[in-house]
Structure 1
């Protein structure tokens, strides 16, 4: 972490400034941001940024290799498999914990990866607000590959809209405006002009989909998908009460739902490199490691940390009834590298890639970061703490 920028920030920080920052962040939004936003951004050194880039590039080589689809076919639950899958994901997110290696060097370690969109709109506003509220110098940026704000939003537009007009593309989630991430939906709508629809708002006529606007049914040509299908899991039939989106429909996906499963915890055992924790499919584990305290047990088909067993015992491993759907992953020990006024805070940095149709490979564009004092990064593990929550990382241009 860049020490001089951190020292300057902390010296000028006050609770009053943080409250002013939050007021500025929530200004002009339909509702206040529904998740905790941290008091501070992260300031990375160029050296650590380069380590992140190298780790990300190494992981992309696996995703870009011929045969990746065949390798990950088992990752897609049959009941959630959707027709008309395209050739590549439009979004890739790589989560890295900030850790220390055996030699004492600060290094990134992969936590998880997603073939699914993240807060691509909100992070722009968040970076702008940190810069304005705390007077961060112009020679710091949150964008990669020499992108500026306009370059980035142009790339986001190209990725999501493609050849279509804004009214032909919908941002869709199950109950879109009730999601904690709805602030990102609203900001994305501001940038791109696309409508926000809930799953229940979609109508089907033949093999085409429609939404209603101004009393008229509007044809949907492309869905910017923010729906995680697990969220509509019921005891009945999948998509019970909704249009069954698994059908062969005359619609494009950004990104196609199958990529949520292909690029996920399922990919971890296939990855190699210094930034990759040792990971095994549980059903392929030859023997339970003697140092089991150094591993976590994760279900493949869950999200937001649900079902993860942190303090694993041999009994936990042996009692899993569907070991093909679990991984055993080496624990990643976060280093509290971000100096708060009352001590160190752990950090995680998410690299966010955009891959519009027609490009040969994804472009690393922006980042998201999270600060934590709890046992895990998520909100439920950081209640009643300060200097934790969602943030972004700045680094020298």
Structure 2
């Protein structure tokens, strides 16, 4: 997106460098990453950075409203998904923006989706560090994954403050379903390495009264005081085979770091509550007075799905009429991603996830990092980008 930097990066790129970069990441924890890592980071110009910050501020104005919980009381799949002891702020917020062009050809972000759930906070730090180590000669000084002068060390210190704090790291767990089988397992290993916390499958979490505990490598019981939850509820509801002593609906003597209820409150359900130049028009399907005539300009999304599952990008009236549970769907204006990243063949489109964290010391939610996805297909997902190069997961370096 910054022509001179992009030209210099592409001119100095080689497949050998890229393979060495991947090998280094895969050897860091002796684990081969299961998703495609892009050949390049993205260089984000100051003008676009300022628009991204403004867009995040606009959205947070709605999320920070005193009546936000009342506005989102209908977000839960059913009453049985509500978890006790909800806190006042979502610890983690992800805001996904497609990078587009306005009528004057200027870059502009458009919100695609949002979630009140942690993302790859620790892998992104590793990824940015490895891009610099292997391609540092063409990544300019004065560009950072973070904003407002935050350093990598400051970023990791803030994560440690909010996830572990004064608690013994042994009594803090990262909770997942069969974590070693997850596509994002690399992030779990990076988290454990930086924080010293236990990565635990939910089937290994034990319960006695309101006390949660696990058995360490010596068979000793270790009480759990904090849960850094990485379980996606879509998967949990589908995994009826799991033998668990613990239910999310249990009253427990442990603190949620990232309370599960925010997974629902800050989600696709939130989209129709948001307005502004950075937000596409969005409607609850069951509340539409009439179906738009220009359905080619809309996408149809199930409210309760993950990673693009069930999204229809070629919407018809018959498709809408056939849906019986319209309350579970969203009709959202299409966002026209612009192919703005020059590659070795056709340009790539990109999506940026602004990663936010609520700082308990300042009582403010701030942008702390980012995640980029590069795509050459109709959508960002893997199935739309098979056999393509210069696509996949990446990170953005912001111009200061």
Q: 2:166 corresponds to which residue?
A: 163
Aligned to 1:72: 72
Task: Measure, in 2, the Cα distance between the counterparts of 1:93 and 1:234.
Answer: 24
Separation in 1, partners of 2:54, 2:238 = 41
Asked if residue 330 in structure 1 is aligned to residue 316 in structure 2, the reply is: no
Tell me how far apart the structure 2 counterparts of residues 175 and 84 of structure 1 sit (CA, whole Å): 26
Q: TM-score, normalised by structure 2?
A: 0.96
3-state DSSP of counterpart to 1:150? helix
Counterpart for residue 97 of structure 1: 98
Q: Does 1:212 align with 2:205?
A: no
Alpha-carbon distance in structure 2 between the residues aligned to 1:184 and 1:293: 37
> SS of the residue aligned with 1:277?
coil
Cα distance between partner residues in 1 of 2:243 and 2:299: 35
After superposition, what is the alpha-carbon deviation per residue over 1:150-195, rounded to whole angstroms, capped at 9, x for unaligned? 1000111111113312111100101112111111011111111101
Bigger mean CA deviation after superposition, 349-358 or 386-395: 349-358
User: Whole-Å Cα distance in 1 between the matches of residues 203 and 240 of structure 2?
Assistant: 17
Q: Which residue of 1 aligns with 2:234?
A: 230
How far is the alpha carbon of 1:141 from its aligned partner? 0.9
Offset at residue 232 of structure 1 (A): 2.0
SS of 2:140 mapped into structure 1: coil
Secondary structure of 2:193 counterpart: helix
Helix, strand or coil: the match of 1:59?
helix
Q: Is the 8 A contact 1:131 1:137 kept in 2?
A: no
SS of the equivalent of 2:59 reads helix
* Distance in 2, Cα, partners of 1:169 & 1:235: 24
8 Å Cα contact 1:145/1:364 also seen in 2: no
Call closer, same or farther: CA 1:234–1:105 in 2, change over 3 Å: closer
User: Partner residue of 1:315?
Assistant: 318
| Structure 2 runs not aligned, ≥5 long | none
Q: Which moved more, 1:218-227 or 1:319-328?
A: 319-328
User: Unpaired segments of 5 or more residues in structure 1?
Assistant: none
Counterparts of 1:25 and 1:311, CA distance in 2: 38
Q: Return the TM-score normalized by structure 1.
A: 0.97
CA distance in structure 2 between the partners assigned to 1:319 and 1:5 by the alignment: 49
Farther-moved stretch of structure 1 (344-353 vs 162-171): 162-171
CA deviation profile, 1:190-245 (whole Å, cap 9, x unmatched): 111101100001000011100111211100011000001221224869x7644112
SS at match of 1:47: helix
Query: Over aligned residue pairs, what C-alpha RMSD do you find?
Result: 1.4
> Equivalent residues in 2 for 1:168-207 (5 A)?
168-207=171-210
- Tell me how many residue pairs correspond in the alignment: 396
Query: 2:8 aligned with 1:8, yes or no?
Result: yes
Corresponding position: 1:392 with 2:395: yes
Which residue in the other structure is 1:112 paired with?
A: 113
Q: For 1:287 and 1:162, how far apart are their aligned partners in 2? A: 51
Task: Name the CA shift for 1:363/1:235 in 2 (closer, same or farther; >3 Å).
Answer: closer
Which residue does the alignment assign to 2:250? 247
CA contact (8 A) 1:297 1:326 kept: yes
Distance 1:333 1:242 in 2: 46
2:356–2:368 contact (8 Å) kept in structure 1: yes
Q: Secondary structure at the match of 1:355?
A: strand
Query: Equivalent residue of 1:342, what SS?
Result: coil
| 2:345 pairs with 1:342 | yes
Is residue 282 from structure 1 mapped to residue 254 from structure 2 by the alignment?
no
Secondary structure of the 1:233 match is: helix
Q: Output the CA distance in 1 between the equivalents of 2:281 and 2:187.
A: 34
Instruction: Tell me which residue corresponds to 1:51.
Output: 51
Contact 1:346 1:372 in 2 (8 A): yes
- Residues 1:22 and 2:22 are matched in the alignment: yes
Change (3 A) 1:356 1:100: same
